Amino acid sequence: MVVWVICGFMTLAAALSYGELSAMFPKAGGQYVYLKEAYGPMVSFTFGWTFLPLSRRLRLQLWGSFLQVYSLFVSGTR
């Protein structure tokens, strides 16, 4: 239970940090803009081009896992 409370506070701190950053930099782009302001254009460019393929790949893997579990549930084998 203590771990849940600690993780809740960490999530709250992250959400408040993103809220503060979005108020400081009211531009479209999210993390790209924050990294560009903090570390420069090269870091944000690298982040943008590495995040795009990873996010698509992870999303497809999650959908595949979901559909596998759902198909087992619907077929009654689980």
Token pair 């009211």 in the structure block, residue: 26
Tell me what pLDDT residue 11 has: 92
Give the structural domain span for 47: 2-75
Domain count, the chain: 1
Report how far residue 74's alpha carbon sits from residue 78's, in angstroms, rounded to the nearest whole number. Answer: 8
- In tens, the pLDDT along 6-65 reads 999 999 998 898 788 778 778 777 777 877 877 888 888 888 778 776 777 777 888 888
pTM (2 d.p.): 0.47
- For the chain, what is the total number of helices (H) and then of strands (E)? 3, 0
Tell me what pLDDT residue 2 has: 87
